[in-house]
Amino acid sequence: MAAIPKHTQGIVLRRINYAENDRIVTFLTRDFGKVRVIAKGTRKEKSRLAGGIELFSVSDIGFVVGRGELATLGSSRLAKYYGNFLKDLSRIDFAYNCLKSINKITADGADKQYFLLLEQLLIALNNLDLSLVVISVWWYCQLAKLTGHNINTDYPIDSKVFNENIKYNFDIERGGFKESEQGEFNSNHIKYTRLAANNDPRILAKITGGEQLANDMQPKIRGFIEYVY
């Protein structure tokens, strides 16, 4: 009995050359989690599949699951291409690192929310009016929340409530804020971190002084994600 093709939308996480004309492509899909396919003939000049395996895009794909580890890509069509941010090397580098992170932490049956988050990231990066540092803090906070390592903005470490008159440091190992007389952060940083975990980056961009808050927080939030993974 012939295998029935599966159809969904996918975002390319990784592409590697294989044999003379093929590629092995890892997609994060909307409906089937992470899927690895062999895309035959996609390195040929007139390949009908090549256009649907572009990085930084969403594609409509069809694939057939066989007996081996790799499915076979049967159809691919570019649905949305987020090429506007390719003018900015910093955004490209950040996007590549995000793809690598998602590829590392997601299993084959990854939840649909990972696809939606990655799609939202591409939309944000493609909007050059949005600050990259704001996008990055939003991304790290969203990723922490989605993976169950939510940053604690409900109460301080070893204390019951946040106080607007007290300074705090961020504890990377414990994923939260701790009171300190020489602390780097105040209640505004904590509120911003909470908002980043629960809102679209376009909302964060409207916060007065938000970009400076994001600049202050970004190294610590990134460090927390790197520590967790």
pLDDT at residue 74 in the model:
94
The answer to whether residues 114 and 77 belong to one domain is: no
The answer to whether residues 58 and 132 belong to one domain is: no
Return phi, psi of residue 214, to 5°: -65, -40
Q: What is the pTM of this model?
A: 0.93
The token duo for 71 is 């499915």
pLDDT at residue 82 in the model:
96
Contact of 197 with 142, CB cutoff 8 Å: yes
Residue 150 reports pLDDT greater than 80: yes
User: Where among 43, 64, 81 does a domain terminate?
Assistant: 81
160-197: pLDDT as tens digits: 999 999 999 999 999 999 999 999 999 999 999 999 99
- Nearest CA to 110 out of 225, 220, 10 is that of 10
- Nearest CA to 52 out of 19, 36, 74 is that of 74
| Bridge partners, residue 229, by sequence | none
Report yes or no on 1 lying in a domain.
no
The predicted model gives 110-131 an average pLDDT of 96
The answer to whether residues 172 and 224 belong to one domain is: yes
The answer to whether residues 124 and 163 belong to one domain is: yes
| Residue 89 binned pLDDT confidence (cut-offs 50, 70, 90) | very high
For residue 7, the 8-state DSSP code is E
The answer to whether residues 216 and 131 belong to one domain is: yes
The answer to whether residues 91 and 204 belong to one domain is: yes
pLDDT at residue 2 in the model:
58
User: Where among 27, 56, 81 does a domain terminate?
Assistant: 81
Report yes or no on 153 lying in a domain.
yes
The predicted model gives 130-148 an average pLDDT of 97
Report yes or no on 88 lying in a domain.
yes
- 125, containing H or E segment: helix 112-126
Identify the burial level of 54 via C-beta atoms within 10 angstroms of its C-beta, where 0-12 means exposed, 13-18 middle and 19 or more buried: middle
Report yes or no on 196 lying in a domain.
yes
The answer to whether residues 130 and 170 belong to one domain is: yes
In which domain, by residue range, is 156 found? 84-228
The answer to whether residues 56 and 88 belong to one domain is: no
The answer to whether residues 73 and 53 belong to one domain is: yes
- Rg of the chain over Cα atoms, rounded to whole angstroms, equals 20
The answer to whether residues 210 and 142 belong to one domain is: yes
Return phi, psi of residue 39, to 5°: -105, 95
Residue 135's CATH number: 1.20.1440
User: Where among 81, 105, 138 does a domain terminate?
Assistant: 81
27-68: pLDDT as tens digits: 999 999 999 999 999 999 889 999 899 999 999 999 999 777
A 10 A CB-CB count for 65 gives 15
The predicted model gives 102-121 an average pLDDT of 93
Instruction: Work out how many domains the chain is built from and give that number.
Output: 2
